[in-house]
Structure 1
Amino acid sequence: MKFMRIGDVGAERPAVLDAAGTARDISGIVADIGPDTIETLTERLAGVDLSGLPALAVEGQRIGAPFARPRNIWCIGLNYSDHAAEAGMPVPSEPIIFSKPGSTLCGPTDPILTSPNMSKIDWEVELGIVIGTPALDIAPGTAMDHVFGYVAANDVSERVWQLERGGQWMKGKSYPSFCPCGPWLVTRDEVPDPQALGMELSVNGEVMQTGTTATMIFGVAHIVEYLSRFALLEAGDLIVTGTPPGVGMGKKPPRYLQNGDVVEMSIEGLGAHRSPVRARV
């Protein structure tokens, strides 16, 4: 199944795509898609004739993040060896973990917001994992049982704040709008091999990143099992899993986002983003 949320900020209606690709309103079955409902979401829809549900217009409507604000957004750093090389950092022997606040989550066409204090705003196309059932100290080999599905995500970063201001990476990852996601949350059964997905990102029509999840250092199952050793992964949590090379700080000379730029990105089977960059009012 492919889930999405359509409507203005704070008034999104949950929807599922039917076999013809029409968005069907499921608000009569579930109030929203998120931490409080995702664990039983597919069960509630089992046996429902989707064609009998109200159709929702998508064209001309805002597409929200495909799930409501998660309790946690977990991030894996330097998870592609060629990205580690362009960053001038060693390939990690274990996953590097950091986090983003839930307030960074936004839709795939929402603006990436900037402030006058920013000077090195960067992009990172990433595969996102959405947790379906809680995971803590899970047994090896059971990780995928806890995965609800996948989403295309952009781990936007302010590199000065991340790398030049001391402290943890989270400082440069936490501004509102710094985690565009969507347009769809695609259930695990529709992505038979999450380690074989093509990914691409462009800025103003110029391709910056191309890659595949096949080159991840730590795959989806390993990441979920590994994180569960250190923290409770809760239903609805998002895990963004690292980016292939081609980020702005790796360009020669470095290139960063400016107000007025448009970031477009896609991951095979998970849909596409088109995010304008603009100053926060």
Structure 2
Amino acid sequence: MQIARISLESGPRYAIVDHDSDEYVVLAGDPIFQGLDTTGQRVPRKGTRVLSPVIPRSKVVAVGRNYAAHIEEMGSEEPATPLLFFKPNTSVIGPDDFIIQPSWSQEIAYEAELAIVIGRPCKDVPPARVPEVIYGYTIANDVTARDIQREEPQWSRAKGFDTSCPLGPVIDLDFDPTDVSIQSRVNGELRQDSRTSLMIRGVTELVSYISHSFSLLPGDVILTGTPEGVGTLQSGDVVEIEIEGLGVLSNEVRTN
């Protein structure tokens, strides 16, 4: 089952994606907190604006250097433990929203990533119980001010600026993240082409480790790292992130 968040005249609403009828089945409330009761309303998928499928209520936790080939291309070393950083919820945008390059950066980059959506409050989760706390999966683009990342010892500005975390288009509740294709394209040109099975640390290890570091809350999002092939973006570029089974997340770049 896939859940989308859509824009209707009455405001943002959550909906089940009905692939058979090519319609959205509107839900009564936020499915993470209120379940999957429907209103009976159906709207066509065509022409309906899709929003970010989740706005994290507390945080986005991101993982750096989690693909060996990406570590090599960046001239870095594999971290002894998962490398973690935060992106604020103000960085989140949805499909087709503009990525706005900040005035203080001259070099922003795309990073295709699988994203985990947390479904229940949790702390110190043992690996065997990780599936119980995951609500589903979506696509993320960890947009990075690469020049600022090189210049500053911490990554808060480089990774956390407004519009730096596109998410979407759906949350898939039944998704198997073990071994699927992950790609990025810029203006239709393939830039990244890898598989989630090449992550150094998989979903189970990451969620368990992060939950031992700090509490996770419903709607929190975890970004699992990017494969090799990252590169810079210019104003007017359209970057697409595609993960097999989750669809395509597309955003255009604009200057501030």
Specify the TM-score bucket, using the shorter chain as the normaliser.
over 0.9
Which of 162, 172, 179 pairs up with 1:186? 172
- Partners in 2 of 1:125 and 1:223 — Cα distance? 17
TM-aligned CA deviation for residue 8 of structure 1: 7.3
Equivalent residue in structure 1 for 2:198, among 215, 223, 243:
215
Q: Percent identity, aligned pairs only? A: 36
Report if the CA contact (8 A) 2:102-2:161 is conserved.
Answer: no
| Aligned match of 1:231 | 214
Q: After the TM superposition, which residues 65-80 of structure 1 pair with which residues of structure 2 at under 5 Å, given as runs?
A: 65-80=52-67
Compute the displacement of 1:10 (Å).
10
Using the TM superposition, give the Cα deviation of residue 171 of structure 1 relative to its aligned residue in structure 2, in angstroms: 1.7
1:133 corresponding residue in structure 2? 120
1:89 counterpart (55, 66, 76) = 76
Displacement of 1:169: 1.4
Residue 261 and residue 8 in structure 1: after superposition, are their counterparts in 2 closer, same or farther (change >3 A)? farther
Relative to its length, the structure with more strand (as a share) is 2
Q: Which amino acid aligns with 1:245?
A: E
Asked whether the 8 Å contact 2:55–2:89 carries over to 1, the reply is: no
Question: How far 1:57 sits from its partner (Å)?
Answer: 3.1
Hey, what's the Cα distance between the residues in 2 that align with 1:117 and 1:6?
Answer: 32
Unaligned runs of at least 5 residues, structure 2 = none
Provide TM-score, normalisation by structure 2.
Answer: 0.94
Distance in 1 separating the partners of 2:40 and 2:34: 19
Alpha-carbon offset, residue 80 of structure 1: 0.4
Q: Give the deviation of 1:163 after TM superposition.
A: 1.9
* Structure 1 segment 226-265 matched on structure 2, within 5 A: 226-248=209-231, 256-265=232-241
Aligned CA distance change for structure 1 residues 225 and 9 (closer, same or farther; 3 Å): farther
CA RMSD across the alignment:
1.9
Indicate how the Cα distance of structure 1 residues 148 and 58 shifts in structure 2: closer, same or farther if over 3 A, else same.
same
Alpha-carbon contact 1:25-1:54 (below 8 Å) kept: yes
Q: Are 2:249 and 1:273 equivalent residues in the alignment?
A: yes
1:5-24 equivalent positions in 2, closer than 5 A? 5-7=5-7, 11-18=11-18, 20=20, 21-24=22-25
Separation in 2, partners of 1:18, 1:197 = 22
- Structure 1 segments unaligned to the other structure (5+ residues): 249-255
C-alpha deviation, 1:92, in angstroms: 1.8
Tell me the SS of whatever aligns to 2:168.
coil
**Higher alpha-carbon deviation: 237-246 or 139-148:** 139-148
The one-letter amino acid paired with 2:187 is: N
The answer to which of 193-202 and 80-89 deviates more is 193-202
SS at match of 2:222: strand
1:199 matched to 2:182? The reply is yes
Between the aligned partners of 1:56 and 1:101, the Cα distance in structure 2 is 32
Query: Counterpart of 1:263 in 2: which secondary structure?
Result: strand
Match of 1:170 among 119, 141, 156: 156
> Which residue of the other structure, out of 38, 41, 58, is the alignment partner of 1:54?
41
Q: Offset at 1:39?
A: 4.2
Letter in 1 for 2:70: H
Compute the TM-score of the two structures, normalised by the length of structure 1: 0.86
8 Å Cα contact 2:56-2:221 kept in structure 1? no
**Matched ranges for 1:38-53 at <5 A:** 38-41=32-35, 44-45=36-37, 53=40
**Worse overlay, 108-117 or 155-164:** 108-117
Question: Which whole-Å CA distance do the structure 1 matches of 2:235 and 2:4 have between them?
Answer: 28
Measure the CA separation in 2 of the matches of 1:63 and 1:125: 19
Please state whether the residue corresponding to 1:246 is helix, strand or coil.
Answer: coil
Shift of 1:279: 2.1
Distance 1:140 1:178 in 2: 30
- The answer (yes or no) to whether the contact 1:104–1:179 under 8 Å persists in 2 is yes
CA shift, 1:82, in A, is: 0.6
Taking a change above 3 Å as real, the CA distance of residues 146 and 69 of structure 1, as seen in their structure-2 partners, is closer
Partners of 1:73 and 1:9 in 2: CA distance: 29
Answering whether residue 2 of structure 2 is matched by residue 2 of structure 1, we say yes
CA distance in 2: counterparts of 1:84 and 1:205, whole angstroms: 25
